[in-house]
Structure 1
Amino acid sequence: MNHDASHGVYNDARYDDPRRAGGASDTEGFDAHVAGLPFEVMAQKPITRVPEAATSTAPPAPQASDDAVPFAEPETKPLRGVPAHVGDRPPTYPPHPLGRPSVRDGDPFAPFSPVVLLDGAQIGRLTVRAASVRGDSHNWEGSCRQDAMAVTRIGPPEAELLLLAVADGVGSALYSHVGSYQFSRLAAVYLDREAESIHAALCARDEGELRVLATKAVAGAAAELRSGWARAAQHQPRAYADQDYATTLHVLLIPTDAGIRDRVLFSVGDGGLFVLREGRWEQGDPDSGEGLLDTRTEALPHAYRSVKATVLRTMPGEVLLLGTDGVTNPLTQKDPEFARRLAAAWGGPEAPSLSDFLWQAQTRAKSYDDDRTVICVWEGRG
């Protein structure tokens, strides 16, 4: 839904606030501590001055010559300001956070969920940048970010995999922010237990076996989370229900061994993966024609048997983009300006800095006001 129409215009006077209609002192403790020290510690020997003849014989620091070129004053770059936008005018929502949940709202998780998560890594020739940003509509409402992400490594050194995960809590679910956060992490733990088998199946390009292993891991995570949520609900007025924690999940596994060119994507629900090749965002593997973007509405924890496994092969110089639908939806629209901007920002040989990546990931598009989580991977050439 386009929240611009439902909440009015930013700065309109009607919407100024969219959420309304006796012990010891430190000195005494220190004195007691000093009084208990051995005498040898208290009576330190005086410092002996080193004779000049014994000083270091290192050569003196070089002196600047008359014709030395002075250091140039550092260039002052302008502040980035608000995130850029596509289209004739920016979205109606303000581009910054407004309210946030309170501890007294009764949700122990939401008040402490940050508006922005920023992460990155350099593992061999792989460079990762990751950002999860609260959407404009949630900023306006003062509700918490429902997206989550994870960047980690799993498996032993001989079968190590870089794990990247994004999860998008279903907007109508009461605790979807909890579901997305916990699934993105616990799924990584269960996939780690299967890492050697996953590595072997990936090297064999056995999608059937990969799907079995992924389903086993996701089912294990779902069972553990369900049990914990059900126990917690016994002390709440609301009974446990799967739909309260509904979330999508996408996990990309990349071998850290540069000689292995295959990757695998495990998916439940909408969102997924793009590959930037020669300046264009592609939604599938050109070798197999298999789609990497999912438009299904299935969600965990109840859809743990619906894990989709897709193997793709990439080459150095290509950029992988794993994202929730807050970024994948505008990338697939008929107006290509959003896609062109991100391709220009992320299509170079060097990965941007963390702060630049965050600013670029926040590029705004009217009517796309959901949370946005995006993880990009660059691979340098050997």
Structure 2
Amino acid sequence: MRDGDAFAAFTPAVLLDGAQVGRLTVRAASLRGDSHNWEGSCRQDAMTVTRVGPPEAELLLLAVADGVGSAKYSHIGSHRVTRQATLHLDREAENIHAALTARDEGELRAIANKAIAGAVSDPGIGPEHATTLHVLLVPTDARIRERVLFSVGDGGLFLLREGQWHQANPADDGSLLDTRTEALPHAYRSVKAKLLCSEPGEVLLLGTDGITNPLTQRNPEFAQHLAHAWGGPEAPSLSDFLWQAQTRAKSYDDDRTVICVWEGSE
């Protein structure tokens, strides 16, 4: 507490959450990395698991953020941005639901840019709060198979299908000319959106780069271990998920935040 950063002093090393929304099962964990443990610094990642929108257009909202290490208050930024983005996307829930139903990726991108710009306009978010952000929105209506991912910066989405991990991140359109790390608040105009579909039996994994980097860079042992742990028909218990989320990957010691979604069949 005497360091003068009360937010850091109150930030827990581990967050664990879970939910059952209709046929959707969610497990979520945010863990302080070994490097931050060694330094005695707080966890810079943040996450949000909630529902937005009215019953007829309800969406499961999952968000992860990774504070940029060089920004003094990035741990505060990641926390605030996930929550501010959620508030703004809640106001757009009916429009998001309609755009998903229409499979209108252009409209989804426009909604994302408006919502994220509104989120980072909060006077409490500045350059010293720099953070990445990834938001996955899943309709709770099982008849709608479309999902959308909004992304800024490293990390993102994987899909586990038939025992194999597949990247599901938006393509980089080359529009970002700034040489700084792609992060909020300065990169609010470069929010990318991707429309995708998933089927019962497939698993969606949303994460910060503490988990997506080992998967992206094809650490076979790590990827196979998690595919085996999370590829079954049943979601793990909260305690098992936390244990599995802590699986070590050689040379990766950053914070790790991971949210997985399972969908059961009728």
Deviations 1:223-257 (A, max 9, x none): 12xx135xxxxxxxxxxxx3311000000000000
C-alpha distance in 2 between matches for 1:262 and 1:244 = 36
1:123–1:293 CA distance, 2 compared to 1 (3 A)? farther
Q: Cα RMSD (Å) of the superposition?
A: 1.2
Query: Structure 2: which amino acid aligns with 1:207?
Result: E
Tell me, yes or no, if the aligned pair for 1:190 and 1:220 is still in contact at 8 Å: yes
> 1:335 offset after TM fit, Å?
3.2
Higher relative strand content: 2
C-alpha distance in 2 between matches for 1:334 and 1:317 = 23
1:352 corresponding residue in structure 2: 236
| 1:379 pairs with 2:254 | no
2:109 corresponding residue in structure 1: 211
Q: Which 4+ stretches in 1 moved above 2 angstroms?
A: 291-294
Deviations 1:288-325 (A, max 9, x none): xxx4587x931001111111010001100000000000
2:51 corresponding residue in structure 1: 153
1:250 corresponding residue in structure 2: 134
Aligned residues: 259
Query: Structure 1: which amino acid aligns with 2:38?
Result: W
Greater relative CO, 1 or 2 (CA 8 Å, sep 6+): 2
C-alpha distance in 1 between matches for 2:120 and 2:25 = 30
C-alpha distance in 1 between matches for 2:171 and 2:246 = 21
Query: Structure 2: which amino acid aligns with 1:180?
Result: S
C-alpha distance in 2 between matches for 1:134 and 1:146 = 8
2:20 corresponding residue in structure 1: 122
Tell me, yes or no, if the aligned pair for 2:206 and 2:258 is still in contact at 8 Å: yes
1:132–1:293 CA distance, 2 compared to 1 (3 A)? farther
1:267 corresponding residue in structure 2: 151
Query: Structure 2: which amino acid aligns with 1:311?
Result: L
C-alpha distance in 2 between matches for 1:320 and 1:335 = 19
C-alpha distance in 2 between matches for 1:378 and 1:247 = 27
Query: Structure 2: which amino acid aligns with 1:258?
Result: A
Tell me, yes or no, if the aligned pair for 2:170 and 2:193 is still in contact at 8 Å: no
| 1:324 pairs with 2:208 | yes
| SS class of match (2:124) | helix
Tell me, yes or no, if the aligned pair for 2:137 and 2:149 is still in contact at 8 Å: yes
| 1:342 pairs with 2:240 | no
Query: Structure 2: which amino acid aligns with 1:263?
Result: R
> 1:172 offset after TM fit, Å?
1.0
When the two structures are superposed, what TM-score results if normalisation uses the length of structure 2? 0.95
| 1:189 pairs with 2:87 | yes
Tell me, yes or no, if the aligned pair for 1:273 and 1:323 is still in contact at 8 Å: yes
Alignment partner of 1:178 out of 62, 76, 80: 76
C-alpha distance in 1 between matches for 2:99 and 2:218 = 37
When the two structures are superposed, what TM-score results if normalisation uses the length of structure 1? 0.66
Tell me, yes or no, if the aligned pair for 2:132 and 2:183 is still in contact at 8 Å: yes
Matched-pair identity in %:
78
Query: Structure 2: which amino acid aligns with 1:110?
Result: A
1:14-29 equivalences in 2 (<5 Å): none
Deviations 1:266-286 (A, max 9, x none): 0011110000000000013xx
Tell me, yes or no, if the aligned pair for 1:272 and 1:293 is still in contact at 8 Å: no
> 1:108 offset after TM fit, Å?
2.0
Alignment partner of 1:140 out of 34, 38, 47: 38
C-alpha distance in 2 between matches for 1:168 and 1:320 = 19
C-alpha distance in 1 between matches for 2:196 and 2:162 = 17
Alignment partner of 1:282 out of 148, 166, 183: 166
| 1:228 pairs with 2:124 | yes
Unaligned runs of 5+ in 2: none
C-alpha distance in 2 between matches for 1:146 and 1:283 = 24
Unaligned runs of 5+ in 1: 1-102, 230-241, 285-290
| SS class of match (1:104) | coil
1:300 corresponding residue in structure 2: 184
Tell me, yes or no, if the aligned pair for 1:273 and 1:293 is still in contact at 8 Å: no
C-alpha distance in 2 between matches for 1:332 and 1:209 = 29
Tell me, yes or no, if the aligned pair for 1:317 and 1:381 is still in contact at 8 Å: yes
C-alpha distance in 2 between matches for 1:322 and 1:218 = 18
Deviations 1:54-104 (A, max 9, x none): xxxxxxxxxxxxxxxxxxxxxxxxxxxxxxxxxxxxxxxxxxxxxxxxx11
